[in-house]
Structure 1
Amino acid sequence: MFSLNAKNSLTFVLIILFVGLFMYIPKIYVSNNIYYTSKDINRLYSHYISLNEENTFLSKQLEDMKFKNQVIDSLLFNPLIQLEQK
């Protein structure tokens, strides 16, 4: 059906096709892997930033509550105020 020259040409083309696929499939895999890893890194970094901001906010709230507690304690347990009330 095919002549000898056509069979050689078809074999040559198939060999080149498989060599090309053999060379580019790992590159495509690595590129996709890098892309999805960078997406994960960006997602984790955005979570890190938001948690860091939340930590700053909560630290400020804690500091305010400590200050308020110290002020209330000083008002409640100050002996001078207790003497003035009697």
Structure 2
Amino acid sequence: MFKLNQKNSLRFVIIMLFLALVMYIPKIYVSNNIYYTSKDVNRLYSHYISLNEENTFLSKQLEDMKFKNQVLDSLLFNPLIRLENK
């Protein structure tokens, strides 16, 4: 076939290095893409959780304010009705 001398072995090593680069560069690129995408997903999920908690808190505040408004209305208008009836 061919003899392995210094010149041929250097070519063989260069070809093998090139093949290894061609095979592993796409894998490295995809792995990095997956990593950064998962970081973005985790960041967005943490924002989602915090916004969900804030929504729960604000809903409770709104419910409390509605209740206070109803109680204040009943306290304000009931004495007036009683005064009119007397």
Normalising by structure 2, we get a TM-score of 0.85
Over 4 Å off, 4+ runs: none
Residue-by-residue CA offset, 1:24-48 (whole Å, 9 max, x unaligned): 0010111111111111111111111
Matching residue's letter, 1:8: N
C-alpha distance in 2 between matches for 1:63 and 1:33: 45
What are the ranges of 5 or more consecutive residues in structure 2 without an aligned counterpart? none
Distance in 2 (alpha carbons) for counterparts of 1:61 and 1:74:
20
Provide the C-alpha distance between the structure 2 equivalents of 1:9 and 1:75, rounded to a whole number of angstroms: 98
Corresponding position of 2:10:
10
Matched residues, number: 81
The equivalent position to 1:82 in structure 2, one of 71, 80, 83, is: 80
Q: Please give the TM-score of this superposition, normalised by the length of structure 1.
A: 0.85
Q: What is the percent sequence identity of the aligned residues? A: 83
Q: Which residue does the alignment assign to 1:56? A: 56
Structure with more contact order per residue of length (Cα contacts < 8 Å, sep ≥ 6): 1
Structure 2 vs 1, CA of residues 83 and 31 (structure 1 numbering), >3 Å: closer, same or farther?
closer
Instruction: Look up the equivalent residue of 2:65 and give its one-letter code.
Output: M
What 5-or-longer segments of structure 1 have no aligned partner?
none
Q: Calculate the aligned-residue CA RMSD, in Å.
A: 1.6
2: distance between equivalents of 1:60 and 1:6? 80
